[in-house]
Amino acid sequence: DAGVTQSPTHLIKTRGQQVTLRCSPKSGHDTVSWYQQALGQGPQFIFQYYEEEERQRGNFPDRFSGHQFPNYSSELNVNALLLGDSALYLCASSLPGPATEPYGYTFGSGTRLTVV
C-alpha cells in the first residue's frame, strides 16, 4: 500500500537547533500539507505545497519553512527550535482538487518531535 510515508518517526532536539522532517505522498497525489498536533489538541495547519510552491500557509512563524521536490515529496524545516515546538507533525497528501475524485486527505503516521 503506497500510503503517506514520514521520517523519522521520533526525534529529540535541543532548543535552538534546526530540524528537517520528510514526507512522501500517497501514490498519485501531488499536493502535500503539513500539520502540527500538540498533545490533547487537534492538528493545526502549517502550510501546503503544490507544484513545488507554497500555496497556502497557516498562522505559523517564518521559522517554519518547507520545500516540495519534483517527485512531490516534501520537507518541513523548523529553525531555532523552542520547547513549544514539541508536537506530532503530520503530513497529508491529496489531489489538487475535486475534479478527479471525491476529495480527501490521506495522512501519514507522523513524526514525534521532542525539544529539550
Partner 1 sequence: KQEVTQIPAALSVPEGENLVLNCSFTDSAIYNLQWFRQDPGKGLTSLLLIQSSQREQTSGRLNASLDKSSGRSTLYIAASQPGDSATYLCAGAGNSGNTPLVFGKGTRLSVIA
Binding residues (CB under 8 A) for partner 1: these are: 4, 6, 31, 33, 35, 40-45, 48, 50, 55-56, 58, 88, 90, 92, 94, 96-99, 102-110, 112
CB 86, min distance to partner 1, A: 13
* C-alpha to C-alpha distance for 71 and 58, rounded to whole angstroms: 24
Q: How far is CA 18 from CA 15, 61, 64, in A?
A: 9, 14, 10
Nearer to partner 1, 67 or 112 (CB): 112
Nearer to partner 1, 16 or 107 (CB): 107
Residue 108, class by beta-carbon neighbours within 10 Å (0-12 exposed, 13-18 middle, 19+ buried)?
Answer: buried
CB 41, min distance to partner 1, A: 6
CB 4, min distance to partner 1, A: 8
Q: Among 88, 65, 77, which Cα is nearest to 19's?
A: 77
Nearer to partner 1, 26 or 78 (CB): 26
Nearer to partner 1, 40 or 84 (CB): 40
* C-alpha to C-alpha distance for 29 and 26, rounded to whole angstroms: 6
CB 32, min distance to partner 1, A: 11
- What is the dihedral sign for C-alpha 109, 61, 73, 86? negative
